[in-house]
Amino acid sequence: MSVSEQLFARALQLMPGGVNSPVRAFRSVGGAPFFVKAARGATLVTADDRELIDFVCTWGPAIHGHNHPRIKSAIAAALENGTSFGTPNPSEVEMAELIVRFVPSIRKVRMCNSGTEATMSAVRLARGFTQRDKIIKFAGCYHGHSDSLLIKAGSGALTHGHPDSAGVPAAFAQETIVLPFNDTAALEAAFAANPEKIAGVILEPYPANVGLILPGPGFLQYLRTLCTAHGAVLIFDEVMTGFRLARGGVQELEQIRPDLTTLGKIIGGGLPVGALGGRADIMDCLAPLGPVYQAGTLSGHPRAMASGIAALRLLEEINPYPRLDALGRQVRDALLAAARRKGLPLQVPQVGSMLAVFFTATPVRDYATALKSDAKLFAKFFHACLDRGVYLPPSAYETAFLSTAHEGAAITRACEVMTTAINAL
């Protein structure tokens, strides 16, 4: 047995599914997960000393590659002062100043410890600010695992949703409406069917938890207009896209100002961090100023702040976005060329350093069309790449990430491997 197999056998006795987060278990692509003991640059080193080119980047945070010297030394220096204080600390002020400077729609910010905490708090804040209960979300968008957001479209799609997980009370699902992404008619109808009841609309402006879907022309602008007209809080969940696609995230690319934004991943530089921020009049409803309670023992953790500050300052210094987009296009073009030569239907939506692989001839514009892609063929492609040393996200409905460390040999090798993998299908 390999070391990973031995570790997985032990893990299965101790942790549900042998993992601490479900997607890591390889259930949708088959096979057993490998264990990683080290990571540097674009490379993961497995417990069996295999080196893999990493297209998951710890699900987004590693935009500078793994274990970047600047981030590593910032954490080491910060550790000299201890770990956690449970008091206000200078680093959280510096982090808040950076976020406010980079994201114009964010005037005030609250740090927390995960994307789930950020979106859960943003929903509660929208409800407290508007004194309304209903929330609109979109099928295929994932916002972490809080009860109000683990909801799928119900039969009465314009009225309420159904739980998308055991343990979520139907009463919670009643307050969440799930609509098709890119569907302006459904959006308009939902507001009309729930006058003065919609507290907020939450979405990934570029949904990246269903593969990668891009909004149709004008969709986000229309959403902004509708939320303003109905007094609903527009929440951009940029946990994944924030600082990934531009310093100001999708809202900078699309020139749209949401009322609230949730962040995570990159702002922690690889350590656990989440954040919500936005209009000061809404944010000031948060305790201790206002009546909406939100708290966290390790929120604004000085070491996580030091790590995130180093990551954000590096983004400011090197402005990697044009290079990252060029890397994304290079992978997309290699995949599409290989599929064309083989006569294989393939969609590769790509924006900046994010891309997805859909084995389908149908352009993917929402959850329903994403489900039409061939997940079994994706699983074969996933393993064909992994066998050759390239690790893609272990699901047909996730998004791959690139880092600045992929430039040069790593991207060349990865394109060769993916081309060979397509030919082997």
* Active site residues per annotation: 142, 237, 265
Q: For ligand KE4, which is the closer residue by CB, 92 or 237?
A: 237
124 is a site residue for ligand KE4 (CB under 6 A) = no
119 is a site residue for ligand KE4 (CB under 6 A) = yes
13 is a site residue for ligand KE4 (CB under 6 A) = no
Q: Please report how the helices 375-387 and 409-424 are oriented relative to each other, as an axis angle in degrees rounded to 10.
A: 130
The Cα-based distances of 24 to 58, 344, 398 in angstroms read 11, 28, 12
Rule CB under 6 A: choose which of 35, 59, 191, 359 binds ligand KE4.
59
308 is a site residue for ligand KE4 (CB under 6 A) = no
23 is a site residue for ligand KE4 (CB under 6 A) = yes
Q: What is the C-alpha separation between 235 and 159, in angstroms, rounded?
A: 20
> Using CB under 6 A, which residues numbered 378 to 417 contact ligand KE4?
398
Q: For ligand KE4, which is the closer residue by CB, 273 or 344?
A: 273
147 is a site residue for ligand KE4 (CB under 6 A) = no
Least distance (Å) between residue 264 CB and ligand KE4: 5
Give strand pairing partners of 234: 201
Rule CB under 6 A: choose which of 46, 116, 176, 182 binds ligand KE4.
116
Query: Residues near 172 by Cβ (< 8 Å), separated by ≥ 6?
Result: 147, 148, 151, 163
Query: Residues near 217 by Cβ (< 8 Å), separated by ≥ 6?
Result: none
Burial class (CB in 10 A: 0-12, 13-18, 19+), 280: exposed
The residue nearest ligand KE4 at its CB is 115
Stretch that binds ligand KE4, among 103-111, 140-148, 299-307, 346-354 (CB under 6 A): 140-148
Q: For ligand KE4, which is the closer residue by CB, 239 or 310?
A: 239
Least distance (Å) between residue 27 CB and ligand KE4: 12
114 is a site residue for ligand KE4 (CB under 6 A) = yes
277 is a site residue for ligand KE4 (CB under 6 A) = no
359 is a site residue for ligand KE4 (CB under 6 A) = no
Stretch that binds ligand KE4, among 84-92, 126-134, 142-150, 158-166 (CB under 6 A): 142-150
Quick one: CA torsion of 259, 185, 208, 359, rounded to 10 degrees? Answer: -170
Whether a cis peptide bond, with omega within 30° of 0, leads into 195 is no
Question: For binding to ligand KE4 (CB under 6 A), which residues are involved?
Answer: 21, 23, 59, 114-116, 119, 142-144, 204, 209, 237, 239-240, 264, 274, 398
